[in-house]
Structure 1
């Protein structure tokens, strides 16, 4: 028996981290990032394969909800295996932070970066590098926050 949380608990774990001591209406980018870093450092009960537990940091201006918004998507991806231990699908846990478009944000363009817990060393270095992309946003409160899980 291990004491790592199960993958099925990941969405609730992230939501709990995001809500520690605040309501979502006062959730700054900095608070969301700190919550995501705590979530990223927590190891879940995953298979010991290189791509079983991945972190994705991505941003850009997108119109997913109908109108263009600058979106920062903080994602954790888990490999889900079938009963025989073979890959079946992935589950992604997202924390999307959306901001009204403005020239300074649009000028950032878009970017994405992956980190895999079982394949890469240096999680803290990766998190520090990703945090550098958020400099313009740290003190801001996103216009919208969406926390959800999806199979991919």
Structure 2
């Protein structure tokens, strides 16, 4: 069973190390997004992309996120996000792209969310490019 504590390791094992195959990794994330996580009351997913200066260098981030609400003894204790984040050199074409799409399972069918993301122009453009690297990490927010 996947738990919030082992979700990062689970996703890293599914995707593998040092991969830059965006389409394959998206498919693995889609599969992961359908997996139940122990204690999760609602599935929350996010696709986001854009050029940001998080590290002192402008880069294009292409990020698939699963958000977890964490409870301790049935009391809310916070949220965590598991990122599957591709980083690209920000070309002129990528500089013009920015998107943010959320899904909560109370919104309806997750396949509608995946279909929406796959049809975004931002998604289609970045899918054809070679990223610098993939970062898979989980953080408290």
TM-score w.r.t. the length of structure 1 is 0.83
1:20-79 CA distances to partner (integer Å, 9 max, x unpaired)? xxx52x42211221111111111111243xxx4311111110011221111111111111
Runs of at least 5 residues in structure 1 that lack an aligned partner in the other structure: none
After TM superposition, give the deviation of residue 143 of structure 1 in Å: 0.6
Counterparts of residues 33-44 of structure 1 (less than 5 Å): 33-44=26-37
Runs of at least 5 residues in structure 2 that lack an aligned partner in the other structure: none
- Going from structure 1 to structure 2, the CA distance change for 1:95 and 1:47 (only over 3 Å counts) comes to closer
**2:113 is the counterpart of 1:126:** yes
RMSD: 1.5
Q: Secondary structure at the match of 2:39?
A: coil
- The residue aligned with 1:89 is 78
Q: Which has the larger radius of gyration?
A: 1
Query: 1-side partners of 2:40 and 2:128: how far apart?
Result: 37
Instruction: Pick one of 10, 13, 29 that aligns with 1:16.
Output: 13
**2:68 is the counterpart of 1:78:** yes
Q: Secondary structure at the match of 1:39?
A: helix
After TM superposition, give the deviation of residue 113 of structure 1 in Å: 1.4
Counterparts of residues 2-151 of structure 1 (less than 5 Å): 4-19=1-16, 23-24=17-18, 26-48=19-41, 52-83=42-73, 85-108=74-97, 110-117=98-105, 119-133=106-120, 134-151=123-140
- Displaced runs of 4 or more, over 6 A: none
TM-score w.r.t. the length of structure 2 is 0.89
